[in-house]
Amino acid sequence: MEKSSQIRKLIIAAAVVVLAVLFVGGFAKGKDMMYHLVNRGALGPLTRADIQYQNVDAPMATSNDGTVNANDWKELYPYIVTTMGDNKKNDYVVSYLEQDPYLVNIYEGYGFAKDYGSARGHEYCLEDVSKTQRPHAKANCLTCKTPNMAKLVNDMGVGVYSMSFDEVMSLMEENVSCYTCHGNDAGNAGKITITHSYVQKALGENMAAIDPATLSCGQCHIEYYFTPADSETMMPYHSVAEMTPEAILAYYDSIGFSDWTQESTGAKLLKAQHPEMETFLSGKHAALLNCADCHMPIEQAEDGTVYHSHLLVSPLENETLLSTCAECHGDTDMVQMVHRLQDRVTARETEVGNKLAEFNDALADAVQKKTLSETKLDEVRKIYREAQWFFDFCYVENSEGAHNSELSFHCLDTSEAKIEEGMKLLGN
């Protein structure tokens, strides 16, 4: 009796030890093991480890400029080509000018006051740039729309940027496509190649600090400007540390850059573009995830092929991506969590945007009635430029706070403080 109870105790003790080792081991392995425990059960969401990467020679290019296009890759990567084409499904557009009428006032005198709709899928890039009401005399507007523009610049140099829009447009064959993010090297395990030459020019060796999958999007989803000298597309910084709204503003100030001078206020203003990468890189996920992790679900086709879907979706609208959030966010309802955060950011945007429009009116009024000296007006114009920049940096970022809510609120608070400072100088 004694003996068998001792054996039983031993067996239980051994089992406890084994379980403890497994458990501690799980935590020691960290992220990966937690993922399996929380979420995966036996199988769970697919990861990069499930993809069978291939090394194949690039097919013959059928394009006029030597870029291997989506159709050329179709036989080798049917699912990637098809899902990329599915970006056509993302065709929903809202007019920001109707949604937020205060913008008409803020952007007065610039193209965006006439026509400013939300973005849609990559398959509409060339169509949308052709039919926008905003003026575009030069080819540099094509930089972020098509691989054929990147190839032309790579072949012929930066002179291409100042060629006529219509002339270069007639040479363009595809919307954002394989060459944009892989060069002609997509067959080499889908290796990322940065084909937009200004990224290398601006960041140089500091490119290595950014995950290639993130930088592939960061060729376009960034703040950029056209150099006054030769209309070249350029990023306003040289490192990740300089990707803040403060540092970018200081850079534009240092080179005396503005996008337009507003007639009513005489202010030299900046138009932020879509600083998704900059915003993301100072956010909470920067060290943990890349853009593809949240916008390109890993899927399995019926024949068993596992691949990154190239249909770029909102993670909130995709069950596969939502299940990957659980790895770190547990059973939080992510759709609700993100929407709440976006609602707070949007409400604050409306509040500060309306104040900025009032500031704009007050400044225009002071300019018209000459209630202040030119020197004083210039001081207010500079404050207005800054208030507008910080507001815009948040407003135009496409995640509405989801990528980095701290930065969104920081930009809006800074803008508001400058508005108050300027209004005081105007005697309001």
Contacts with ligand HEC in 336-355 (CB under 6 A)? 338, 341
Asked whether position 118 contacts ligand HEC by CB under 6 A, the answer is yes
Q: Write out the binding residues for ligand HEC, residues 206-235 only, by CB under 6 A.
A: 213-214, 216-221
Asked whether position 36 contacts ligand HEC by CB under 6 A, the answer is no
Q: Which residue is listed with tokens 């409400």?
A: 347
Asked whether position 301 contacts ligand HEC by CB under 6 A, the answer is no
For ligand HEC, give the closer residue by CB, 122 or 381: 122
Is-contact 151 65, C-beta < 8 A?
A: yes
Choose the binding region for ligand HEC from 106-114, 161-169, 320-328, 381-389 (rule: CB under 6 A): 320-328
Q: Which residue in 178, 267, 269, 411 binds ligand HEC (CB under 6 A)?
A: 178
Is-contact 425 379, C-beta < 8 A?
A: yes
Asked whether position 51 contacts ligand HEC by CB under 6 A, the answer is yes
Q: Write out the binding residues for ligand HEC, residues 406-425 only, by CB under 6 A.
A: 406
Q: Which residue is nearest to ligand HEC (CB)?
A: 190
For ligand HEC, give the closer residue by CB, 73 or 384: 73
For ligand HEC, give the closer residue by CB, 195 or 262: 195
What is the closest distance, in whole angstroms, from the C-beta atom of residue 404 to ligand HEC in the complex? 5
Q: Which residue in 100, 161, 182, 252 binds ligand HEC (CB under 6 A)?
A: 182
Reference 266, options 372, 410, 156; nearest CA is 372
Cβ neighbours of 196 (radius 10 Å): 26
Three-state SS at 331? coil
C-alpha–C-alpha distance, residues 166 and 138, integer Å? 8
Cross-strand bridge partners of residue 306: 300
Reference 246, options 360, 425, 410; nearest CA is 410
Count of residues that bind ligand HEC according to CB under 6 A: 73
Q: Which residue in 152, 334, 356, 377 binds ligand HEC (CB under 6 A)?
A: 334
Asked whether position 122 contacts ligand HEC by CB under 6 A, the answer is yes
C-alpha–C-alpha distance, residues 168 and 252, integer Å? 28
Asked whether position 245 contacts ligand HEC by CB under 6 A, the answer is no
- CA torsion angle for 240, 246, 251, 254 (degrees, to 10)? -160
Surface-to-core class of residue 156, CB atoms within 10 Å of its CB (0-12 exposed, 13-18 middle, 19+ buried): exposed
C-alpha–C-alpha distance, residues 422 and 425, integer Å? 5
Is-contact 82 91, C-beta < 8 A?
A: no
Asked whether position 177 contacts ligand HEC by CB under 6 A, the answer is yes
Asked whether position 104 contacts ligand HEC by CB under 6 A, the answer is no
Where residue 210 falls (left for φ over 0; alpha for ψ -120 to 50; beta otherwise) is beta
For ligand HEC, give the closer residue by CB, 2 or 75: 75
Where residue 189 falls (left for φ over 0; alpha for ψ -120 to 50; beta otherwise) is left
Q: Write out the binding residues for ligand HEC, residues 59-78 only, by CB under 6 A.
A: 70, 73, 77
For ligand HEC, give the closer residue by CB, 11 or 347: 347
Asked whether position 94 contacts ligand HEC by CB under 6 A, the answer is no
What is the closest distance, in whole angstroms, from the C-beta atom of residue 179 to ligand HEC in the complex? 8
For ligand HEC, give the closer residue by CB, 220 or 235: 220
Binding mask 134-173 for ligand HEC (x = CB under 6 A): ----------xx----------------------------
Cβ neighbours of 252 (radius 10 Å): 19
CA-CA distances (angstroms) from residue 88 to 74, 130, 224?
Answer: 17, 17, 26
Asked whether position 316 contacts ligand HEC by CB under 6 A, the answer is yes
Supply angle C-alpha 188, 233, 84, rounded to 5.
40
Q: Write out the binding residues for ligand HEC, residues 386-405 only, by CB under 6 A.
A: 398-399, 402-405
Cross-strand bridge partners of residue 261: 268
Asked whether position 267 contacts ligand HEC by CB under 6 A, the answer is no
